[in-house]
Structures are given as C-alpha cells and as structure tokens.
Structure 1
Amino acid sequence: MNFDYAKDSKEQRPYEHYLAAYKDMDPNEISERTGISYDEESRKFTVCFMGSTYLVSFPDYEISHVEDEIGVYPLEEAMNAKIFIIRYLAERFAAPFSGKFLTYHDVPWGEVYFRQFQGRCLMRFAFSYGNKLEHFQKVMEHLGAEKSTEGDCSYKLEFMNNLFIKFILWEGDDEFPPSSQILFSDNFAVSFAAEDLAVAGDIAINMMKAVERKLF
C-alpha cells in the first residue's frame, strides 16, 4: 500500500536522532512512562495504532503488524508515522483521558499553528470526504472507529493507545462547500505539542485515503 510521505532529509534526520536516543534507553522505563506494554522475552513493545496492533522491537526499532482485517499498515511504511511513534517512545508519556475533546484552538500554541493545521488537515479532510459521506463512513467503520453524533457524519478514532481523534463532517451542497472539524482527546495536549497534533491529523487522513483505495 502506498502512503503519501516525503523521503528526504527533512524527515530522515529527525528519525535518525530519535532512533539514536531510543537505542540508548531502558525499555522498561519506556513502558512505565508511556503505558505501552513491553515483553522482555521477545524484546518488543505492543503498540495499538489506528485499529491495528504492531510489534516494535527494541533496540533496533523494527516494526511488524499483527494480521487483521484492516489490511493497511502505515507504521511499517510511512516515515511520518514511524517518527511519531518513536518520538513518543523516546520522549513522551501517557496521560489519562477525561472524556473531553479539544479543538486545535484550545491546544497551547494552537492559535499560532492553526493556519497550517487548517490547510493540512481541516480543508484536506473536508474536500476529501465532504461530498463522499458514504465513503467516509465505510472507511471509519473498517478502522473500527466509533460513530459520533456531531455534524452530518462523525466518528471517534483511537489513533493510538488511549489517544483519540474525532473527525466531523458537514456535507457540501450547491450553495456551500463542505466543512469539517477535527477534535483531539484532552490527553493529546498533555503528551504532545500543537505541531504534533497536526502531524497526527495528517497521518490519520493518509490512512483514510489508503483504506479508501483498498475498499473502493
């Protein structure tokens, strides 16, 4: 499956930086800090990522998926997804989800980066699925997302271990273009910066489009 991501030094250098840090860490400390389970015998973490389960080896960071019905595995291929996870393992920590969702504006520095997020995620999502609600619905159900009540069609997706993104669409018509909202569980804002949330939205939309190509 082909994912849209850059294969240049802009991503390769950060990846190498986090990989070097990851290799020097204590895997049990990583597990305790992030809440991601680690098996000492196999030397692998178990990561839940957009409906699929992955085994992530330590210290070499080799990634393999557990076969499932989704059939699309970005963590094995997409560099932005690989960087997101290894950065979480190397630097971040788990935080509890209170049940509350935040807009991008609500996140610290979200106002500063909103224009980038708007183009990269909100507009792309709206114009990808705002006139294809049936496609969006089938894609999200294929990913095991939970249907929500907001907008004309909305779903809550577990992006990774206990971190959720809510995707909301309002259908376009002859007079108005489609519009969207993307909300993040409040523990996202504890563990990640505003720029990271834009990356998460981008990764998730790439996943939707890859699943759409598979289904349709």
Structure 2
Amino acid sequence: MNFDYAKDSKEQRPYEHYLAAYKELDPIEISERTGFPYDEETQMFTVHLMGSTYLVSFPDYEIHHVEDRVGIYPLDEAMNAKILIIRFMAERHMTLSTGKFITYHEVPWGEVYFRQFQGRCLMRFAFSYGNKLEQFQKVMEHLGAEKSTEGDCSYTLKFMDNLFVKFILWEGDDEFPPSSQILFSDNFAACFAAEDLAVVGDISINMMKALEKTLN
C-alpha cells in the first residue's frame, strides 16, 4: 500500500534530527521509559501500532512488520508514522490512562492547533465516513477496535499499547452534513504534544482509507 512518503525537507529534516538523537541513547533506558520491550541479543524493540507488531532495530531504526491479518503496515513506509514513533522513543515516556477520554481542546496547546486538527482530522474523518457507516464499521472491526456507544457509530481503537483513540460519527442527512469527534485516552496528553495528536489522527485515517480499498 502506498502511503504518503516525504521526499522534501519538511519531514526529512525532523526525521534526521530524531534519528541522530535516537542513536545516542541507551536502548535499555528507551525501553524502560517507553514500555517497548527490547531484545539485547537481536537489538530490536517490539512496537505495537494499530493492531500490528513491528520490530525496530537499534541504533539504525530499521523497521520490519510481523505478518498478520491486518495486512497494512504504515510504520514500514509512512514518514509521519516513522517520525511519530522515533520522536516518542527519543524524547517522551509512557504513562497509564485513568480510563477517561479527552477532546483535543483539553490537551495542552490544543486550542492553538485546533484549527489544523479540525481540518486535517475531524472534517476529513466526517466526510470520509459520515455517510458510509457500514464501511467505517467494517474497517474498525478488521483492526480489532471495540465498539462504543457514542454518536451514530463509534469505535475505540488501540493506537499503541496503553494509548486509545475513540472515533465517533454522526451521520449526515438532507439537512445537516456529517460530523465527527475524535477523543484520546487522557494519557496521550503526557505522552505526546498537541501537534503529535494531529499526526495520530492523520495516521489513523490514512490507515482506514488504505484498509477500505482492500476490504471492498
């Protein structure tokens, strides 16, 4: 599956920056901070992303997926996914959720970046699936997401271990356009910056659309 892969400095330069930082770190410290298991013999981290398992090498950051029923592997080739994970490994740490979900507005600096998140994620999600609820349901169940009760159709997706995203749709009709909400488990606010959460939404929707093509 062909995901958008950056060939310009907009994403290549940040990637190179985080790769240089990653190579200087202690892999055991990374594992303790992020919760990603590390095998000292193979020099590989195990990373779970949207239902699939990836083996990530240290210090080269080479990524290989483990074949599974999902069949689409964004961390292999999508530059925004590669940057998100290596930035997390280089700078951030895992914390546990209280079980609550929060809106983008509730994330620190979420108000500043909300317009970008609205167009990039909320509107795109609503107009992609607001009138295709059955297709959305098929994609989410293929990903192993858990059905929720909000809206006309909603699912909670395990994005990474201990990090969950809830996708909610309200169907459009002749009078009103479709609408959506995307909620994040409250530990996202500690694990990622606000601009990263827009990338989480973007990666997730790209995954949905890629899967939609294979499931039709």
Listed as ranges, the matches of 1:95-110 within 5 Å are 95-110=95-110
Q: CA deviation at 1:63?
A: 0.4
CA contact (8 A) 1:4 1:206 kept: no
What is aligned with 1:8? 8
Q: Please tell me whether residue 112 in structure 1 is matched to residue 104 in structure 2.
A: no
Amino acid of the structure 1 residue aligned with 2:9: S
Amino acid of the structure 1 residue aligned with 2:33: R
Listed as ranges, the matches of 1:140-159 within 5 Å are 140-159=140-159
Q: Please tell me whether residue 59 in structure 1 is matched to residue 64 in structure 2.
A: no
What is aligned with 1:41? 41
What is aligned with 1:192? 192
Unaligned 5+ residue runs, structure 2? Answer: none
What is aligned with 2:31? 31
CA contact (8 A) 1:7 1:79 kept: no
Aligned length: 216
What is aligned with 2:89? 89
Unaligned 5+ residue runs, structure 1? Answer: none
Quote the Cα distance in structure 2 between the aligned partners of 1:26 and 1:52.
25
CA contact (8 A) 1:27 1:58 kept: yes
Q: CA deviation at 1:69?
A: 0.4
Quote the Cα distance in structure 1 between the aligned partners of 2:207 and 2:87.
19
CA contact (8 A) 1:157 1:164 kept: yes
Q: CA deviation at 1:7?
A: 2.5
* 3-state SS in 2 of match to 1:90: helix
CA contact (8 A) 1:159 1:165 kept: yes
The one-character-per-residue Cα deviations of 1:32-80 (angstroms, maximum 9, x if unpaired) are: 0111100111110000000100000101000001110010000001000
Quote the Cα distance in structure 2 between the aligned partners of 1:155 and 1:45.
28
* 3-state SS in 2 of match to 1:36: coil
Amino acid of the structure 1 residue aligned with 2:95: A
Q: CA deviation at 1:3?
A: 1.3
Quote the Cα distance in structure 2 between the aligned partners of 1:7 and 1:128.
26
Listed as ranges, the matches of 1:72-87 within 5 Å are 72-87=72-87
Q: Give me the TM-score of the superposition, normalised by structure 2.
A: 0.98
Quote the Cα distance in structure 2 between the aligned partners of 1:162 and 1:7.
32
The one-character-per-residue Cα deviations of 1:143-189 (angstroms, maximum 9, x if unpaired) are: 11111000000000011121110000000011110000000000000
